Amino acid sequence: MRADAGRRLAELGIDRYVLRSAHAAAPATEAPARVSPAGPGPAPAPATAVAASAPGTAARVLLYAGTGGAGALLADIGRSLSLLRLDWAPGVEDDAAVSSAAGFVVLGEDLARRVAAGLPTDRLGACEWIIAGQPDDLARGAAAKRALWGELKRLARTLSARDAAAKH
């Protein structure tokens, strides 16, 4: 396929799927994110990132994950965000990063409440949110994973439409 053909397909809204091959790079190993289960208190720890945004660039999407042993799931979500051409980073407590983010992917409702509690009210409605189940539950449920991947695609479409509207 020509180099510009993929870009043209994306502009038309057509998803291009490439089969995995035996030559594919081995997935990076990583430790699961650690978040204090206590309610109020320290901000959530960042999820381990695979190919996140380059340091120094503002991430448009922040990925927060609760405790659990689903490190492979977090790596898959990170790769999905990268394939959808979204600049992303693991969830951080840096106010500048949070205030510039256009979207949040949060795994776990309790964690979503804590993340949202740290944001100003006007930012809550201005951002796109994906709140999924706990990482362990997502790792076991095929239907929940399918729903999450669909929401990630919706997030990418919404943010690209915002960019297009901002350019005009």
Q: What pLDDT, in 10s, does the model give residues 107-160?
A: 888 888 888 888 888 888 888 999 988 888 888 888 888 899 999 999 999 998
Q: Are 159 and 128 in contact (CB under 8 A)?
A: yes
- State pLDDT tens for residues 34-50: 333 334 444 444 444 44
The whole-angstrom separation of Cα 27 and Cα 25 is 6
Strands of the sheet with 103-107, listed across from one edge? 88-90, 61-65, 103-107, 128-132
Q: At 64, phi and psi to the nearest 5?
A: -110, 135
How much is the pTM? 0.63
> Mind listing the domains of the chain with CATH numbers?
57-167 (3.40.470.10)
